[in-house]
Chain A
Amino acid sequence: MALEGFLLSALVLTPAAAASLLLLLPKDAEKAHRWIGLVASLLTLGLAGMVWSRFDPSNVAFQLVETRPWLPTLGIAYRLGIDGISLLLVLLTALLQPLVLISSWSSIHQRVKGYVFAMLLLETGMLGAFLATDLFLFYVFWELMLLPMYFIIGVWGGERRIYAAVKFVLFTLAGSLLMLVGILYLSYLHKAQTGAWSFAYEDIRSLTIPMGEGFWHSPQLLLFAAFALAFAIKVPVWPLHTWLPDAHVEAPTGGSVILAGVLLKLGTYGLLRYNRPLFPEAWERATPLFLWLAVIAIIYGALVSWAQKDMKKLIAYSSVSHMGFIILGLFAGTVASTQGALIQMVNHGLSTGALFMLVGVVYDRRHTRLIEDYGGLAAVMPLYTGAFLIATLASIGLPGLNGFVGEFLILTGSFPTHPVAVILASTGIVLGAVYMLTLVQRVFWNPLVHEENRTLADLTWREALAFTPLAVFMVWIGVQPGTFLRLSEAAVRHLVGGGL
């Protein structure tokens, strides 16, 4: 019983505690740094598993709630809680982190201590942002993710890393600082309406936020815009996506995996957690806009992916397209489409994370990511080819793998309310198959023209170890989606309110 009182804190703070432990170790004890990072992230994964086992999917309220006073006169407290919407994403984060550390075991050689430190701090930030149920705490964790990612891109990244890192920071901050003003205004509204200060999510949720007249005089629309901008930049929604390809291409493999796997999900999570329930009327108003932006993102992302010569850039743009599907599902707003969006967040984290990891594998061997530098790898690296193929098929939505479940739910869930958008979005699936299969064709089956590719080593056991859990979950979600959909169903139904 006692454990429940601090399980979520233990989950959030274990990586940060391990990070502070790292600071005490000497600089050259690289092996120890890696092991501390790995053990801490595995411990976090274990704790996440315990959270899963104690989670009651039929309960729509926050569970395992923790409340500790922080700044009581301001109504700020350290509040953590988990519900069906955050559980899946917490599990995804906890799963990806150790895999990333394993996969960067042989690719990061410089400043290992700093790398592991940044990764662990990033994990604390991500988990905290998913679990915070106080707007102030949420903001703190949200910003806490920024700096480690800045360092990961800026120190361990590629040639244009500084440009990419600064762009990433400025884009993200531009959105989140306005959200901060929004958060302040919400607490002010709470004081005005109830007479007490509070930043607690559930208190804020019970407010009625006036709609007013026009955009500039409507508190609800302005607040919606402030929050939506922060989240839309993170997703990223077209046309705010321009930081993403740069960040992805320049980031080291581990950074890309976390960025695509979890950080982007924080944007869609934020929209679902904050924008939808807090500003319902503004959400209604904004729905057409976001649906169109989603459709544009789906098609635009796919077309731009098709044209890429660089594998990492191709996958980065495919993220824009896939995240468009999630936005479509969220704004279509039925239970099925929202469930689909939620499971698709996990799917995208798994398959795109895997793809970035696999591109990293050949990059480590050949130091090039250009598609034309490869060809015929199927004969040289059979295991690698198989892994890449699984991730590709998951990504393009082959039935039996996870991507199909998400896309199917999003499209069928959205069709009754928004048929035109769904029809247009469906072309994205076709295009997705086109650009991904073209990639596979050119890298694995085209004739082997570059001699240096003839001697490439297949997956090492460590790389295989990092990929296997991802593949397991791709198949598991694909074959038995109920296990996962069940976790979020009650919460989504409660949030969306009846319907399909």
Chain B
Amino acid sequence: MNLGDLSAIQPELVLVALGCLLVLTDAFVPSLRSRFGSMAAIGAGIALVVRWTSPTPGMVWSGALVVDELARFVDSYILVALVLVCVMAEPYLARTNARFGEFYALLVWAAVGAMVMAKADHLLVVFIGLELLSVALYVLNAFHRESSLSLEAGWKYLMVGAFAGGALLFGIALLYGASGTFSLSALAPLVAAHTLTGSPLLFLSLALILTGVGFKLALAPFHAWAPDVYQGSPTPVTTFLSVVPKGAALVVLARLIAFLAPAELSPRWTMLLAAIAVLSMTLGNLVAIAQRDVKRMLAYSGIAHMGYALVGLVAFGFDGLSGVLVYLAAYTLMNVAAFTVVSAFSEAEDEPHLLTDLAGQGWRRPVLSLTLGLAMFSLAGIPPTVGFIGKFLVFRAAVNEGLVWLAVVGVLNSLVSVFYYLRVVYYLYMKPLPKREPKYSEPWPARLVAAACAVGIVVLGALPGWVVSAAESAARTLAR
């Protein structure tokens, strides 16, 4: 092992040390607890800077990890999400009297897990990353110990996570049986030499891996856990859960598709992925209409959004992959924005976050409401927001690959989604204030995160050049 390779994983090292520091500080200097949020956010920010200053040598650690531009893009996305979540978590923890170092430490370590997963070339390293991510999240979901909903969320995520992890591991084992290798990039020459063509073991293993990843992405029909877990988990954890694991899992799927080219092995794979995408979009959007709890609504909207993102992977190629990456960046901003505001608009965390709580707030709390409105428009894919750019790129990839029908299904789904996204705006701006005015706190961190996301949504929507070209150079590592 070459010690010089350590320089490639400096950001991970920073985060691991940060997590240890937070836990130790909590034990020995508990008076600093009110500073943990900013410490974690600054630490994650440093990791982000380190990511962009440290080299991207490609394959390191004898092929365990690939630190390339794709990894850098995904890392940046995870770290930005982490910074935002750390900032928004501070007022939440203050309200629930749970300012513990573990919270941030687990969050930071979960992010390390996601980062490892996204840059792993060795399938067992993928699994290790996934477990690091998931185990940290099991605890975080149930962090709000007095709330039965939170405990239920932790328990559900644990059960489903264990099942998904098992499926993934079994799939990896079968893939090893079929191909004799754990390395994703070593699969490409085998595929090219037609050694794997028609292997039943391979198809079984792909199905199992897809199941495992599908659970993490909450794609239909592997989605049933999402609404309960989203609703029950502490809102900052829900935010993290709704963006970080999904990004990492999508990249794993992208690497698998790039090296294994399942479409060449069997065209049915494309149809299967397309069917999952259509099912996720349709089911997510239709069921979201019936939701009264905003967090549950966002859970179903998340299912639909992973369906849209999957459209990019179905099309694949350079366009599809860069589209998915932009989509992820967009999805992070709008989801963080939405959850931050929803959290600030609830009187007590253990109560449901009802749509009716938003009534008439638009004219009372301009910054938060405008952010939530923008997040909704962005989720609906209405220009000039970044959500539109993301959707535009994945649908474009589908059209360019001859999947016009998939793009049509996608846009019709967007139409359905507009209905429930606009309902949030309707409650905010067109409903009168309730007679008993709710007591909402509007702490500055929430406002800061909301404003940052709002600016991001609009600026990246109007001037997407920067993020698109970053995504394109990242996509170039896997596809031409």
Contact = CB atoms under 8 A, between A and B. Distances in A.
A143 interface: yes
Q: Which of B377, B396, B404, B468 has the most CB of A within 10 A?
A: B396
Nearest to B461: A140
Interface in A307-353: none
Secondary structure class of chain B's binding surface, majority of residues:
helix
Contact of B464 (A71, A151, A155, A174): A71
B398 to A, nearest CB: 8
Nearest to A150: B422
A72 B469 CA distance: 9
B49 interface: no
Contacts of B419: 166, 170
A448 B216 CA distance: 73
A111 B407 CA distance: 39
Interface string A144-166: 10110011001100000110011
Contacts of B418: 169-170, 173
Nearest to A186: B399
A147 B408 contact: no
Contacts of B404: 181, 185
A154 B400 contact: no
A137 to B, nearest CB: 10
Contacts of B452: none
Q: Which of A155, A178, A180 has the most CB of B within 10 A?
A: A180
A112 to B, nearest CB: 12
Contacts, number: 80
Contact of B415 (A136, A147, A161, A174): A174
Contacts of A111: 363
B76 interface: no
A73 interface: yes
B399 A184 contact: yes
Interface in B365-404: 366, 377, 382-384, 388, 392, 395-396, 399-400, 404
Q: Which of B383, B414, B468 has the most CB of A within 10 A?
A: B383
A62 interface: no
A180 B404 CA distance: 11
Interface in A25-69: 27, 69
A177 interface: yes
Contact of B399 (A73, A173, A188): A188
Given A166-B422, A174-B415, A180 B395 contact: yes
Given A144-B384, A170-B415, A180-B392, A154 B429 contact: yes
A239 to B, nearest CB: 19
B400 A147 contact: no
A422 to B, nearest CB: 37
A277 B275 CA distance: 37
A140 B386 CA distance: 12
Q: Which of B382, B425, B468, B472 has the most CB of A within 10 A?
A: B382
A9 to B, nearest CB: 13
Contacts of A385: none
B383 A73 contact: no
Contacts of B422: 150, 166, 169
B426 interface: yes
A181 B411 contact: yes
Nearest to B382: A143
Q: Which of B377, B407, B422 has the most CB of A within 10 A?
A: B422
A180 B382 contact: no
Contacts of A161: 430
Contacts of A72: 465
Nearest to B431: A162
A71 B429 contact: no
A184 B377 contact: no
Given A73-B472, A144-B383, A181-B395, A173 B415 contact: yes
Interface in B57-99: none
Contact of B414 (A27, A114, A177): A177
Contacts of B388: 140, 143
A147 B374 CA distance: 11
Given A146-B382, A161-B430, A162-B430, A180 B465 contact: no
A454 interface: no
A154 B426 contact: yes
Q: Which of A69, A71, A166, A177 has the most CB of B within 10 A?
A: A177
B412 interface: yes
B426 A188 contact: no
Contacts of B384: 140, 144
Contacts of A73: 468-469, 472
A161 B429 CA distance: 12
Nearest to B405: A181
B92 to A, nearest CB: 28
A452 B392 CA distance: 56
28 contacts: A71-B465, A71-B468, A73-B468, A73-B472, A74-B396, A74-B468, A114-B363, A114-B429, A143-B388, A146-B382, A154-B430, A155-B429, A155-B430, A161-B430, A162-B430, A166-B422, A169-B422, A170-B415, A177-B411, A177-B415, A178-B408, A180-B392, A181-B399, A181-B407, A184-B396, A185-B399, A185-B404, A191-B400
Given A144-B384, A178-B408, A185-B404, 4 more contacts: A136-B392, A173-B415, A177-B414, A177-B415
Closest CB pairs A-B (n = 7): A177-B411, A184-B399, A140-B383, A143-B383, A154-B430, A184-B396, A181-B407
Interface of A: 27, 69-74, 111, 114, 136, 139-140, 143-144, 146-147, 150-151, 154-155, 161-162, 165-166, 169-170, 173-174, 177-178, 180-181, 184-185, 187-188, 191
